[in-house]
Chains A and B, each alone.
Chain A
Amino acid sequence: MNEPLSIIDLVTNASIVVQCVMAILVLASMVSWVMIFQRGFSLSSIKRESIAFEDEFWSGKDLRKIYLEIEASEREPVGMELIFVAGFKEFTRLRQQKEADPDRIMQSVQRAMRVALLREEERMETSLPFLATVGSTSPYIGLFGTVWGIMNSFRGLATVNQASLSVVAPGISEALVATAIGLFAAIPAVIAYNRFAAQVEVIVNRLDAFTDEFSGILYRGIRRQD
């Protein structure tokens, strides 16, 4: 009794239910951190690539050349490149058919680009729902563990005729560890979710704008040739 309780003791002495809760929360925290890092890297790389591509696009280079370069490069096109590739591919395909109507060409090019945009958006938002779930539920899971632990330690108190704080204190301390872990899992998840959701929105807006700009350019191109 004279030894201060170590955190390991607190975890190992906890009841099975509380331990399960702790295990779930630790797992959730692990997975959400994996998601946080993975999302962080992939979103920042999409942003970077998009900016780089935009610079290239507006540099006045021949669009066909840019397209061929992207096709030739080994890595998968992301973000703006993907939309550009989808739109340009559709455009060249339809242009080869002689009697194509410019408006119809533009419609299907825009459709192709919108599909690519939606796919990209979906891909960027992978695992964001998971982060949202962890952020909103893990405090409750932790709280459940705590309530359960406290329930048990008070039930133990009922059988002791001289109630003293030292009888219940370890149990409560154990139980509170569950809430602590729950908060530890939830806080980064909520922060990351908000941050990533905002980032995705910014990127999607950019892509949207680019889609419009690009279709404008293509439309002008068709008109000039006509």
Chain B
Amino acid sequence: MSSIRTYIVPAVLALAVHVGVITLLLVNWDEAAPSASAAVEHYYIKAALVAENPHKVKQQKLADAALQRRQAKARLAKQRDAARRAQLDQDAKVKADLAAKASQAAKKSRLETMLAAAQQAEEKRAEEKLAQEAKEAKVATEQDLARALSEEQDYRLAVTDDEKAMAYVSQIQREIIQNWSRPPSARNGMQVLLTVFLVPTGEVVDVTLKTSSGNEAFDRSAMLAVRKAERFIVPTNSAQFERNFREFEVMFRPEDLRL
């Protein structure tokens, strides 16, 4: 029928219009969307600085522990893969055994061993763990694997909890910024990294300087800001607290100054 034929060209044109619009939309979408850079700094607070080192030895220790934990956190994705591999693969067990032996040998120089193992978080943790446990028993491998497994599960939970945690983090940020008065010597580009230790009630038990800005006054003002806050609102869920808030880092970095 001729009346149907008259619809063919219009149908093609209509399709072309829609495809064109959708293509334009898809092409321009990413540019139009606001950049996600703000989200990258989740666990940092833009603020001021510090420069004191009260109890240096203890702090060093804490810093080391924090470093390890942070490295482990940073490689969570890798770790998960590795953990899964370890579970599924008998080879992983063999590997872990080897690692255990290696770590025994290197017991005296634990630090070097860790550095060498830094490539794979799973291996690293196996070493760490075994280096301690080897003193008591050499059969810690299974335990270690079980732990890896549970940590993996925890990690999965953590991903879903991330959004919740973000709400707390932003509140903590706000509180710290409120308490922060920058010294006149503060300049754009200075940055201080603090490690904050909380107890489950949210009270600040310790603040240590991780990376100094080089300006003592600025460093001190940052630490003071955290101490003045005294108490933060933290998740009541203890697992979540342990994961994100027992110990966390705060980055102070003024960006709105004229100098």
Write the residues of chain A forming the contact surface with B, with a CB cutoff of 8 angstroms.
1-8, 26, 29-31, 33-38, 41-42, 76, 160, 162-164, 166-167, 184
Q: Are A30 and B40 in contact (CB under 8 A)?
A: no
Q: Are B10 and A35 in contact (CB under 8 A)?
A: yes
- Which residues of B have CB within 8 Å of A37? 9-11, 13-14
CB contact under 8 A between A160 and B164, given known A37-B9, A38-B6 = yes
From B30, which residue of chain A is reached at the shortest CB distance? A4
Q: Are B33 and A38 in contact (CB under 8 A)?
A: no
Q: Is the interface of A mostly helix, strand, loop or mixed?
A: helix
CB contact under 8 A between A42 and B6, given known A1-B163, A4-B34 = yes
A53 to chain B, nearest CB (A): 19
- Which residues of A have CB within 8 Å of B2? 76
From A180, which residue of chain B is reached at the shortest CB distance? B25
A68 to chain B, nearest CB (A): 22
Q: Is the interface of B mostly helix, strand, loop or mixed?
A: helix
Q: Are B168 and A162 in contact (CB under 8 A)?
A: yes
Sorted nearest first, the 8 A-B pairs with minimum C-beta distance are A37-B10, A162-B167, A33-B14, A4-B33, A38-B10, A164-B167, A34-B14, A2-B36
Further 16 A-B residue pairs, CB within 8 A, beyond A2-B39, A3-B36, A41-B9: A4-B33, A4-B35, A5-B33, A6-B26, A6-B30, A33-B17, A34-B7, A34-B14, A36-B10, A36-B14, A37-B14, A38-B6, A160-B163, A164-B166, A166-B163, A167-B167
CB contact under 8 A between A29 and B33, given known A7-B25, A41-B9 = no
Within 8 A of A (CB), among B98-119: none
User: Does B18 have its Cβ within 8 Å of any Cβ on chain A?
Assistant: yes
Offer 6 A-B interface pairs, CB within 8 angstroms, sorted by A.
A4-B30, A6-B30, A8-B26, A33-B13, A34-B14, A38-B6
Within 8 A of A (CB), among B1-52: 2, 6-7, 9-11, 13-15, 17-18, 21, 25-26, 29-30, 33-36, 39-40
In angstroms, Cα B171 to Cα A7, docked, is: 30
In angstroms, Cα B15 to Cα A36, docked, is: 12
- Which residues of A have CB within 8 Å of B15? 30
From A1, which residue of chain B is reached at the shortest CB distance? B39
A186 to chain B, nearest CB (A): 14
User: Does B170 have its Cβ within 8 Å of any Cβ on chain A?
Assistant: yes
CB contact under 8 A between A162 and B164, given known A33-B13, A76-B2 = yes
- Which residues of A have CB within 8 Å of B10? 33-38, 41
B39 to chain A, nearest CB (A): 5
Q: Among B2, B11, B162, which residue has the most Cβ atoms of chain A within 10 A?
A: B11
In angstroms, Cα B163 to Cα A92, docked, is: 85
In angstroms, Cα B163 to Cα A166, docked, is: 8
From B13, which residue of chain A is reached at the shortest CB distance? A37
In angstroms, Cα B10 to Cα A42, docked, is: 11
- Which residues of B have CB within 8 Å of A26? 18
Q: Among A8, A42, A163, A166, which residue has the most Cβ atoms of chain B within 10 A?
A: A166
Q: Are A7 and B29 in contact (CB under 8 A)?
A: yes
- Which residues of B have CB within 8 Å of A6? 26, 29-30
Q: Are B33 and A34 in contact (CB under 8 A)?
A: no
- Which residues of A have CB within 8 Å of B164? 160, 162
In angstroms, Cα B26 to Cα A34, docked, is: 23
- Which residues of B have CB within 8 Å of A30? 14-15, 18
In angstroms, Cα B171 to Cα A164, docked, is: 10
- Which residues of B have CB within 8 Å of A160? 163-164, 167
CB contact under 8 A between A167 and B163, given known A30-B15, A162-B168 = yes
In angstroms, Cα B235 to Cα A160, docked, is: 12
B156 to chain A, nearest CB (A): 15
In angstroms, Cα B17 to Cα A29, docked, is: 10
- Which residues of B have CB within 8 Å of A31? 14
Contact pattern, B 41-85, Cβ under 8 Å of A = 1, otherwise 0: 000000000000000000000000000000000000000000000
B238 to chain A, nearest CB (A): 15
In angstroms, Cα B10 to Cα A38, docked, is: 5
- Which residues of B have CB within 8 Å of A5? 33
B3 to chain A, nearest CB (A): 9
Q: Are B33 and A1 in contact (CB under 8 A)?
A: no
In angstroms, Cα B161 to Cα A162, docked, is: 12
A54 to chain B, nearest CB (A): 23
